[in-house]
Structure 1
Amino acid sequence: MATFLLTWNPKAWPDADYAAAVAATAAGRPVTRRWGVGQRRSGISPGDRAFLVRVVRDRGIVGAGRFTGELYVEPHPDRPRAYADVEFDLLLPLADRLPPHLLKARVPGVAWDHLQASGIAVHPPHDAALEDLWATHA
């Protein structure tokens, strides 16, 4: 299975909605969301791993889950956009996020300071390092 990063600009998912999703996963209820995958048009399959990276402010990994289906493209006023459905099994409060300095130290194969869009693949062996770091952090 492949591993991908999904970026979250807090302007696109307001914090109030996020807090409800955090509470749901803390209670053992997964949260499913449609997520844009940037320029990616292939490569994501059901069961692939997804890590949610908050960008802009309060940066870091705040959640993880699995893709539940294939990519799909939907019309958009300026150009078609690709999406994938993700079932997040854990979303952390922002104060508990996995911060960039730890990510850069333990998973150096990813350009953590230059994530431009969602759908970024994390290749071996960095995917395993990220999974291990998340497991110990979460």
Structure 2
Amino acid sequence: MKLSDLTDPGAVVAAMHEFDELGRDRFLEKYGFGRSSTYFVEYEGRRYDSKALLGAACGHQHGRPLRHEMFNGGLDTTARKLTDLGFNVVGGDPPGDFPRPPSAFVLLWNPGSWEWSQDDRDRMQQLIAEQGQAPDRWSTGSRTSGMHPGDRIFLLKVGTKPLGMIASGTARSEIEHWDHWDTERQEQAPFVDVAWDTLLCPQEVLPREVLKERSQTAAGPSKAEAYFSLPMSPTIWSFCGRPIDRSNEWPRQSRPAIPKASADTGYTSRPSGGCSCGTTQQSALSAG
């Protein structure tokens, strides 16, 4: 079943009634969704988490709800579907005649705070080699909004030398709240679903010194655009001794579908070192 199979506005209203009866937290827990951070449905003076509402509404119409990993949230998916069904969607970017240009963000990994197992990294590297991408979920630190599917994500290794860029990928969700990556903390934290397309070994990172040097000589409207914009520079990863040809990287509109999470490629909540992510190259170079 797909999101396009939801065609009955009455099913959405039924999901709203269930939301009201259970309360927000119990409703989200029942259907396995985090809290929305950008888009909400406004109906009769109340607001509802847009993505969770759609997942539950599919269950009311077809007897089987959509799980979180079965569809993406965002302006072109959840917001558009709800608008097409006649509901008022609030929050997020204002609609326009042209698509929003992708942004770039830097997330952090501090091995001293959270151990990323060798087996897990090997599994992801194998997925990247075989399928081109590996689905994952990573903490966004203190950032709770502003990321959208299609945005570029870079992962910076901090705290333990060598310091530098270890991974790159593409966001496949907005920021949503899930159980904290530190299981001892009985609270939720903001996360983004990401599909990694490059993952290096911890000892083979793209050094921060190289990033600093390149940022000082970068040409263009801003330093950030030199290495953190789409399409990605074909040579950014070549400095770490593992050149990757990205000269034919797909434009955002024509990227192939990202594999859905499954029992073999399920999500695990990852930390972001307790630090916030940034949107510029300077954020990456000064973090940690």
State the TM bucket, normalised to the shorter chain: 0.7 to 0.9
Give the letter for the 1:52 counterpart.
L
Note the alpha carbon deviations across 1:59-112, whole angstroms, 9 max, x for none.
21111110001110135435431000000011123343210110111125xxxx
Which structure carries more relative contact order (alpha carbon 8 Å, separation 6+)?
1
Within-5 A mapping of 1:6-45:
6-10=107-111, 11-45=114-148
Map 1:1-138 to 2 at 5 A.
Answer: 1-10=102-111, 11-57=114-160, 58-76=162-180, 77=185, 79-107=187-215, 125-130=222-227, 131-132=232-233, 134=236, 136-137=238-239, 138=244
Relative to structure 2, which stretch is displaced further, 49-58 or 81-90? 49-58
Change over 3 Å in CA distance of 1:100–1:69 after alignment to 2: same
TM value normalised by structure 2 = 0.39
- Structure number with greater Rg is 2
**Residue identity in the other structure for 1:5:** V
**TM-score normalised according to structure 1 size:** 0.75
2:143 and 2:132 map into 1 onto residues whose CA distance is 28
In structure 2, C-alpha distance between the alignment counterparts of 1:99 and 1:28, rounded to whole Å: 27
Contact 1:19–1:93 under 8 Å retained in 2 = no
In structure 2, the partner of 1:117 is none
Corresponding residue pairs, total: 123
- Asked whether the equivalents of residues 30 and 88 of structure 1 are also in contact (C-alpha less than 8 Å), the reply is yes
Q: Partner letter of residue 104 of structure 2?
A: T
Find the aligned partners of 1:7 and 1:98 in 2 and give their Cα distance.
14
* Contact 1:49–1:65 (Cα < 8 Å) also in 2: yes
Percentage of identical aligned residues: 30
* Mapped contact 2:206–2:237 kept (Cα < 8 A): no
5+ residue gaps, structure 1 = 109-123
Alpha-carbon shift at residue 40 of structure 1 (Å): 0.5
**Of Structure 1 and Structure 2, which has the larger fraction of its residues in strand?**
1
| Offset at residue 53 of structure 1 (A) | 1.0
RMSD over aligned CA atoms reads: 2.2
Which structure shows the higher helix fraction? 2
The farther-off stretch of 60-69 and 16-25 is 16-25
Gaps of 5+ in 2: 1-101, 245-288
Distance 1:19 1:55, change over 3 A: farther
Residue 135 of structure 1 deviates from its aligned partner by 5.4
